[in-house]
Amino acid sequence: VMTTDSQITVRGHIASQRGNIVTNIVTIHLTLENSQGEVCDEGEAIYFTFGPDKAKEMGFDSCKVEGEE
């Protein structure tokens, strides 16, 4: 991907989830696209997630997506 492209797009979706009440692991599959929509790279990211109560305790109270009011 050229950094001079007019647009670079990163897309992700949940590839897998595993866990229990103590451990929540989410694997996200990612793609990186150039301004023509061609996939130039792919990868995975692994995240540890918290339940709603713990997230709120840590200061996270909402998550809006693009175009959402």
pLDDT tens digit sequence for 36-66: 999 999 999 999 888 888 888 999 888 777 7
- CA dist 45 to 13, 28, 65, Å? 10, 5, 19
C-alpha to C-alpha distance for 2 and 51, rounded to whole angstroms? 38
Specify the pTM. Answer: 0.67
- Are the C-beta atoms of 47 and 29 separated by less than 8 Å? no
